[in-house]
Amino acid sequence: MSASILETKALTKAFGGLTAVDKIDLSVEAGKITSVIGPNGAGKTTLFNLIAGVYAPTSGEILFQGNPLGHAPPHKRAALGIARTFQNVLLFDNMTALENVMTGQHPRSRYGFFEAAFRLPKSHREEEAISLAAKRYLTLVGLGMYADRNPLSLPLGQQKLLTIARALATEPKLLLLDEPGAGLNALEKQSLSELIRRIREMGVTIVLVEHDMDLVMGIAEWVIVLDSGQKIAEGTASQVQKDKKVIAAYLGEEEAIE
Amino acid sequence: MLAALKKHKWSYVGMAACLLLLVLLPTEYLLAEKISLLTAVGVYSIVAVGLCLLMGYTGQVALGQAAFFGLGAYISAVLSTTHNVNPWLAMLIAAVATGAFAYVVGFPILRLRGNYLAMATLGLGIIMWVLFRNLSQYTGGPDGITGVPDLSIGGFVFDTDLRKYSLIWAFCIVILLISQNVMRSRAGRALRAIHGSEGAAESVGVNVTQFKVKIFVLSAVYASVAGSLYAHQTNAIGPGSFDFLASVLILTMAVVGGLASVWGAVFGAAAILILKIEWIPEMSKMSFFRPLFMSGAAYLISYGLLLMVVMIFLPNGLFVSLRDAFDSWRRRRTQRGVAG
């Protein structure tokens, strides 16, 4: 692993007596698609929330582009270039699809209340750039024609694509996708895989948490396996599939990895 | 610019209609009979629109807006009456002081998630009213302050009802336009995002606490400006205008008009003031209602009933519901036009 964009060092998060993430060391290579997998309760989403800054680690640290993130809140991490989507979508239902994506441009624009109140030239300039960028990202995920729709009027598959567009609009270096495939049909998963590859080609590093093994094995260039808060294996998809500890962790859980 | 004009065509039409109405309204009949009501609609619209920005757009519930309204009125009145400060300067000082006060109160509360703001502002409203009433050496106690001077520009004194009406509505229109511009901007999207989901708003880089505090302070400044205008309009103020019932009155205006709508605030203020000043006193003449009129109970009951009915049947408010109905009627009509 050469240039790593994200590293965690002995990262630990305990909720009372439960250690959800237990001394995890990992390194995410820049420009690659990395997948974090593991059975339910393995600590995948907690790991995401630690990286995104929703939780403060109990101990250990997270380095982004070599700099420790410390206790930086989520909005600062977004500005640094860490974007995320949520398992439960969390779209803004009080605005249109396009406005949702425009909100994503928040850290890449500056004008505030005053410029807006008096419609100063700066607000026009920035607003035009924001709306152009948002339309571009909306088109990228294939929702260009739904710009004026309320996000909740879209089917779940498109809602998930919309959250990806919103996250991309923050112009991230690292994109965290929390179960992007959950609830999608086979066709939608197919186009999701293609979209994720296209995003990688734009130079964005992707880390995804995913339950769907077909999706993971199809696109992940590096797979990290968690179980009970610990990292039990990592490698390429085919390496991980043969790992005895991984098979054991998954046994009794759904089907073993094919 | 043209595209923006086209996109928001109906809101500009609405705005033009409002302006026309405002110019035409002060007819002789109204001048004689209702000008103070129309002026009061302007004053309360300013307070209500602040609450709409805070509650309707950002989702932060505040129940003590009368505290800031009263602070503006009292600071203006005290400075311009007993200390001979220029009324405009007094208004500015009041706005800055009230904004600073809202910041000090709001910052620790708005850092927390959940509706702590509702509880805190409820308490604040009650405390401020007690202070207005009991700090007699400054506020005149229950009698309040009289002899508040009129506002003036150069030699032009805003001393007649029509002049006061014009001045207050000029302020109101400017504040409504500013509010509308802000809500359609980057900051407005950030505020609406907070309402939608604080977690998601943070994830796209919105400093949630900072924006919540900013909009809380802005709503307090609006209320303060309205309070100053009110003091100079009526030339006399007392604690009765800034009690808990006043906060409920403002809340009802914002809810009835439609929380997530800037122009709805005017609609709500007008509807509630007509109810308060015209209808409830009329009802009090009917023997059936008379027992309700002990100690202002009729007002509380009316506002409470209205809040319940609107929340249950028209949760977007009267104004927004009417506008949506109009929109869908227009859409049906154009569709039929295309089909035919």
**Looking at residues B267-296, what average pLDDT do you find?**
78
Burial B204-237 (b: 16+ CB within 10 A, else e): bbbbbbebbbbbbbbbbbbbbbbbbbbbbbbbeb
- pLDDT tens, position by position, B80-109: 999 999 999 999 999 999 999 999 999 999
Q: With an 8 Å Cβ cutoff, is B198 touching chain A?
A: no
**Looking at residues B36-48, what average pLDDT do you find?**
94
Of A78, A117, A166, the CB nearest to B181: A117
- B313 versus A49: the higher-pLDDT residue is A49
Q: Three-state DSSP class for B156?
A: strand
Model confidence at B338, in pLDDT bands (50, 70, 90)?
Answer: low
Mean pLDDT of chain B: 87
**Looking at residues A184-207, what average pLDDT do you find?**
94
Lowest mean pLDDT segment, chosen from A121-135, A164-178, B153-167, B301-315: B301-315
pLDDT at B1: 42
Give yes or no for residue B303 having a pLDDT over 60. Answer: yes
- The rounded distance, in Å, linking the Cα atoms of A15 and B42 is 53
pLDDT at A258: 46
Model confidence at B330, in pLDDT bands (50, 70, 90)?
Answer: confident
- The rounded distance, in Å, linking the Cα atoms of B269 and B289 is 24
Best A45, A55, A75 residue to mutate vs chain B (most B CBs within 10 Å) = A75
Q: Assign residue B42 the CATH number of its domain.
A: 1.10.3470
- The rounded distance, in Å, linking the Cα atoms of B230 and A224 is 65
- A-side interface with B, Cβ within 8 Å? 52, 54, 73-75, 78-79, 83-84, 86, 90-95, 99, 102-107, 109, 111-113, 115-119, 123, 126-127, 130, 166-167, 169-170
Asked if B201 contacts A95 with a C-beta cutoff of 8 angstroms, the reply is no
> Domains along chain A?
1-81+172-258 (3.40.50.300), 93-171 (no CATH)
Predicted TM-score (pTM) of the model is: 0.90
**Residue pointed to by tokens 């920035």:** A126
For every residue of B189-202, DSSP letters joined together read HHHHHHHH-HHHHH
Lowest mean pLDDT segment, chosen from B59-73, B132-146, B259-273, B294-308: B294-308
pLDDT at A3: 84
Contacts of B195 in chain A (CB under 8 A): 92, 94
Give yes or no for residue B284 having a pLDDT over 70. Answer: yes
pLDDT at B309: 85
Model confidence at A253, in pLDDT bands (50, 70, 90)?
Answer: low
Asked if A175 contacts A167 with a C-beta cutoff of 8 angstroms, the reply is yes
The total number of structural domains in chain B stands at 1
Phi, psi of A3 (to 5 degrees): -80, 110
Smallest CA–CA distance from B1 into chain A, residue: A124
- The rounded distance, in Å, linking the Cα atoms of A173 and A207 is 11
Show the domain range for B91: 2-339
